[in-house]
Structure 1
Amino acid sequence: MAESQISASNTSVGTWPAILTLVLFFIANIAVIFPVRLPIPFTVVRATRRILTVVPILPEGSDSDPQLAKRTYLHLNFITIPFISVLILLAAGVFGAGTLRDGIVGTGGVRPLNIMGLFISLAYISISLDATGLFRFLAFWVASRGGSSGRKLFTYLYLFFSLCGIVVGNDPVILVGTPFLAYFTRVAGINPPTAWIFSHFAVANMGRLFWVAFKPYAAHVVLPFLAAAVCVFPVLLFVLFRSPTLVPRRIDIGLEPEEVHATLVDRKGAIFGGALLVATLAVLVGVSTIGVPVWMVTVPPAVIMLVRDIWYDWSRRHLRQNPRSPTPLDGTSTLPSAASGVIREDVVISEKTPSCHELRELHGSNEAVSSPPSPLDSGPLPAVQPSHKTRPRAALLPRLLATRAALSATFPTVTYVAARLPVALLPFAFLMFILVQGLAAQGWVQVFARWWDAWVRRTGTLGAVGGMGFLTCVLCNFCGTNIGATILLARVLQEWTSSSSAAVNPRTRDGAIYAVAIGSNFGAPTLTFSASLAGLLWLQINRQKGIQVRGLQFLVLNLPISFVAMLAASVVLVGQVYVEHPSI
């Protein structure tokens, strides 16, 4: 290839705004990977409480709260540090309204608002389905019907999640598959569930590579995906998870069909929500080739599911207010009276996983539920004496807590789902998009493009594919998820191809472009949870289900998976670009 030079940027990265942006960007990413907490002095806590009492937000007497004896901490994590970094850059005049707008609305074909709309709407539908007991029911059903061979079932699920990732992408597979596997491994008595949850996470992200988009793209990534999927499977089953404890030779839970059906606490809700989710994903796949924004497909079904949950809670409020009323539940299945002998609660339930009994109470039960005693039942009331004391002012916080309690009592399903929505991931994603946009605005993209050009001129097509694949996998962990890495590297490649003084080799160009696509998906299971939104979501769902995954465990198990996947896919990709451009 003829030697090419990237033109120098008009924006100098030697200025203090550019250097400050880069430094704060790396600090924000370090805080995402290694969060810390700093103790707040007791004097500061007491002074703050006094101010909030005077406002008034806290009730009077909060200064004597025994909770004050406990140490309060300032958490420097994936939200606070990026937020502080953006505030510093705004206050210093480095960022303007345009940078903020581009970081939230998006530029160059990437629309963060669109992505977040897809993310949170599918999350609501999936968590609402979990509240109906559907995933628990499916776990029992699969465990009782899937045969006795653990390895066979492991293989079937690997193929199934691969197909689902191809059709609907990784986020829906993570949202639906993670709670399913949490229930399934408990039902089957598989402890720890490491093999199943890590294999599911890896294959869901690999399948996302081939998610239906447009024909030229799909034609270039189908063979790399197949190569990665075929090579990773034996690594999972025969190397990483070969122990019979992780993948049992036999799985037999011995439940009768009626016992399995007893786990479905809201049959109509499960059917309605399941049909809505399937229809949403089908439409999402159908419109993926015609440029319809994905939020227009996913947000309306989420609103429909929300309205259904509100109606469901409101129509059953009398069951919670008058629990002894023998009103039927209209489509909500009930557990047998001797449920403790039918459902193996010791295997299925953890303290963070809602049991069948808890889900029944969530949806309204016809069994008696304890309620606070009425003052009329506690004997004669004492005579009321006139008081000349001034009533304390009503503080804001107790009012908000009382309002929340009332809403929770009236709409338990909605509050259950809302409490589990990954809302905290939204500000994190937007803040990291803004910081990545700030790097581009300060001229760092042009610098990175010159470095990339120098690398390609020395290493050729092999270096372009291998180098870009490696860079993408690594930067997924340090650029605010794989989305941020894709945005940054796509702009680097755009600058590289548009600013070259000589034509870029098409073979090298195509290899680098598709290496970014492969690395952004295979980079999700690499070093840190924050390498992808799916990883953060996966971690949160597992924690809600009582499954703890350590950061070091995530790194150690995922590194060989991502290495084998990237190696197999990159070899196939190199062969493809040489076949496609043979005469260069």
Structure 2
Amino acid sequence: MGIVGEDGVRPYDVLVLFISLAYISTALDSTGGLRALAFFISQKSARTPQLSPPSAEKTASGVQLYTTLYVFWFVAGVIVGNDPIVLSGTAFLGYMTRVTGITTPTAWTFSQFIAANIASAALVSSNPTNVLIAGAFKLNFLTGYTKNTLLPSVITQVDTTCTAAVVAYPLLLVTFKTLKPPRKDGTSGAPAYIPAQLTPPDVDPRSALLDPKGAVFHSALMLVTLVVLVGTSFVKSVEVWMVTAPGGIIALLRDVWTERGSHPLSTPQESEGINLGRVIESTFRYEPRYSLPAFGRAFRRQFPTTATTISRLPISLLPFAGGIFVLTRALTSLGWTSIFASWLAKISVNPAVTIFFLGYFIALVLCPLCGTNIGATILLVEILRDPNFSNAPHIVAGPKILTGAIFSAALASNLGAFSWTFSSSLAGLLWVSILKQKGIHVRAREFAAWNCLFLPVLSTVASAVVLLEVEYFQ
């Protein structure tokens, strides 16, 4: 498979889509658009207490604000993916929990992280793992992929029926309303995870909007790119990168053009006099006029916002994912993938066993141990496409087994982002890093404990819905 790809698996599609949409969403965040929207939503949940004068400070129900933000993270995660929500939402939570006096922000940070990662399973464009699976098995983005993942994603999020009573939102809410944070001395009795009343940040959402025109432009560009991406998925000759790369380039050119005359390229030179220290320094230190560091400094001076946006991009994904693609191809060349495929074929005796086994195994084992959920997905795609699995007699006779395996893998690769290690996903590494910058420290043991409480329940619900769809709606 390498980087170029073969048989419908195009690694460069994943890389180009991810980095292009990441730039658009990060540029949108740089305008303050997502932050302003979060402030607006949190303030809309606040009300003046009854029997209080109009000038009284507005307060919000802790549960109501928690619910409002949860829905916001989910909806935004479906549209822009989990990484932009982690980038902008985590920083916002760091500020919000501080100004509202929440001393233990565990409930708020974990609900954001879980909601964003489950939401990213809904659309192909929301996560690179979705693009990889859709491309490998030639699934139409809308009718082939989303129709089979949107329902499990939504049901895993919201308690809409009696049969989905113990799923993400009610599970999180009941857990954090029932349990009490421990004190530093080990005893209980600290303030609740979700206080009864909170005072939302007293910030005008417009003040957080640094570039209103840019926010409108990048929002529209993101929407158009996603619509075109879904629309052209019916056209086999149009590859993913042909749609997403122009969107990312347009966003970059717009930012550069907007800042073209805002900042001087260089500082004014001294018109008279000689700086003896500078002369001596230049005598002993030679720096080429044209060098990469010099270009970087000049670019940051001329285009500070664009440079900041670029610096926030998860560019480390490119060599990482490329290396994982190559390593997986090496496993295939050495015959290991065929061995794994034979083992999986023996386990997959029917759709139910296949779906539930892969749902648990991918989320709880492969994602934490195989170089994030991207590495796990790359490996699993090769296993499912191997003839030892796909051409096994009982799987050929029962095509629902392969169908169930594909969509179970799609959901599990997203749920596995909040498995028991930070490195289960790049989003997890980014999330814990931003929280640390905001003074919120999440230990690895705490991360594993909370996620191992929620993940098995969510995996069970998602797998059950996939099984119902495969059995009755295919």
- Shorter-chain TM-score bucket reads 0.7 to 0.9
Q: How does 1:43-442 map to 2 (within 5 A)?
A: 102-147=1-46, 148-211=60-123, 213-229=141-157, 230=159, 231-240=167-176, 242=178, 243=180, 245-253=192-200, 255=202, 259-290=204-235, 292-317=238-263, 391-392=283-284, 394-395=286-287, 400-442=292-334
**Equivalent-residue separation in structure 1 for 2:23 and 2:282 (angstroms):** 46
Shifted more, 119-128 versus 215-224: the winner is 215-224
Number of equivalent positions? 421
Decide whether the 8 Å contact of 1:143 with 1:187 is kept in 2.
no
Q: Taking structure 1 as reference, are residues 296 and 251 closer, same or farther at Cα in structure 2, changes over 3 Å only? A: farther
Matched, 1:451 2:387: no
Give the % identical residues: 40
Matched, 1:485 2:381: no
The code of the aligned residue for 1:114 comes to D
Shift of 1:577: 4.3
RMSD value over aligned CA atoms? 3.7
- Runs of at least 5 residues in structure 2 that lack an aligned partner in the other structure: 47-59, 125-140, 160-166, 181-190
Candidates 440, 448, 457, aligned match of 1:564:
457
- Equivalent position of 2:127 in the other structure: none
SS at structure 2 position matched to 1:297: helix
Structure with more relative contact order (C-alpha pairs < 8 Å, separation 6 or more)? 1
Matched, 1:534 2:390: no
Shift of 1:438: 0.9
Shift of 1:435: 0.7
**Equivalent-residue separation in structure 2 for 1:383 and 1:428 (angstroms):** 48
**Equivalent-residue separation in structure 1 for 2:456 and 2:275 (angstroms):** 76
Q: Taking structure 1 as reference, are residues 514 and 412 closer, same or farther at Cα in structure 2, changes over 3 Å only? A: closer
**Equivalent-residue separation in structure 2 for 1:150 and 1:194 (angstroms):** 14
**Equivalent-residue separation in structure 2 for 1:405 and 1:320 (angstroms):** 10
SS at structure 2 position matched to 1:160: helix
Shift of 1:321: 6.1
SS at structure 2 position matched to 1:302: helix
What's the CA shift string for 1:259-294, capped at 9, x where partnerless? 443333333333333333333334334444545433
What's the CA shift string for 1:526-557, capped at 9, x where partnerless? 12233234334444554565654443333222
SS at structure 2 position matched to 1:570: helix
The code of the aligned residue for 1:139 comes to A
**Equivalent-residue separation in structure 2 for 1:390 and 1:273 (angstroms):** 44
What's the CA shift string for 1:450-487, capped at 9, x where partnerless? 21233235xx4443222222222121222233233223
SS at structure 1 position matched to 2:196: coil
User: Which structure: larger Rg?
Assistant: 1
SS at structure 1 position matched to 2:348: helix
Q: Taking structure 1 as reference, are residues 481 and 156 closer, same or farther at Cα in structure 2, changes over 3 Å only? A: same
What's the CA shift string for 1:540-580, capped at 9, x where partnerless? 55456565444333322222222111111223334444546
SS at structure 1 position matched to 2:209: coil
Decide whether the 8 Å contact of 1:129 with 1:273 is kept in 2.
yes
Shift of 1:134: 2.9
Shift of 1:437: 1.3
- Equivalent position of 1:17 in the other structure: none
Decide whether the 8 Å contact of 1:232 with 1:561 is kept in 2.
yes
Q: Taking structure 1 as reference, are residues 162 and 402 closer, same or farther at Cα in structure 2, changes over 3 Å only? A: closer
Q: Taking structure 1 as reference, are residues 547 and 308 closer, same or farther at Cα in structure 2, changes over 3 Å only? A: farther
Q: Taking structure 1 as reference, are residues 477 and 417 closer, same or farther at Cα in structure 2, changes over 3 Å only? A: same
Q: Taking structure 1 as reference, are residues 253 and 435 closer, same or farther at Cα in structure 2, changes over 3 Å only? A: same
**Equivalent-residue separation in structure 2 for 1:290 and 1:111 (angstroms):** 16
The code of the aligned residue for 1:518 comes to L
Decide whether the 8 Å contact of 2:342 with 2:389 is kept in 1.
no
Shifted more, 508-517 versus 174-183: the winner is 174-183
Decide whether the 8 Å contact of 1:123 with 1:421 is kept in 2.
yes
Q: Taking structure 1 as reference, are residues 570 and 269 closer, same or farther at Cα in structure 2, changes over 3 Å only? A: closer
Decide whether the 8 Å contact of 1:518 with 1:569 is kept in 2.
yes
Shift of 1:223: 4.4
**Equivalent-residue separation in structure 2 for 1:528 and 1:475 (angstroms):** 11
Decide whether the 8 Å contact of 1:195 with 1:247 is kept in 2.
yes
Decide whether the 8 Å contact of 1:207 with 1:225 is kept in 2.
yes
Candidates 340, 355, 358, aligned match of 1:468:
358
What's the CA shift string for 1:346-369, capped at 9, x where partnerless? xxxxxxxxxxxxxxxxxxxxxxxx
SS at structure 1 position matched to 2:259: helix
Decide whether the 8 Å contact of 2:372 with 2:423 is kept in 1.
yes
**Equivalent-residue separation in structure 1 for 2:259 and 2:367 (angstroms):** 41
- Runs of at least 5 residues in structure 1 that lack an aligned partner in the other structure: 1-101, 323-371
Candidates 412, 423, 436, aligned match of 1:519:
412
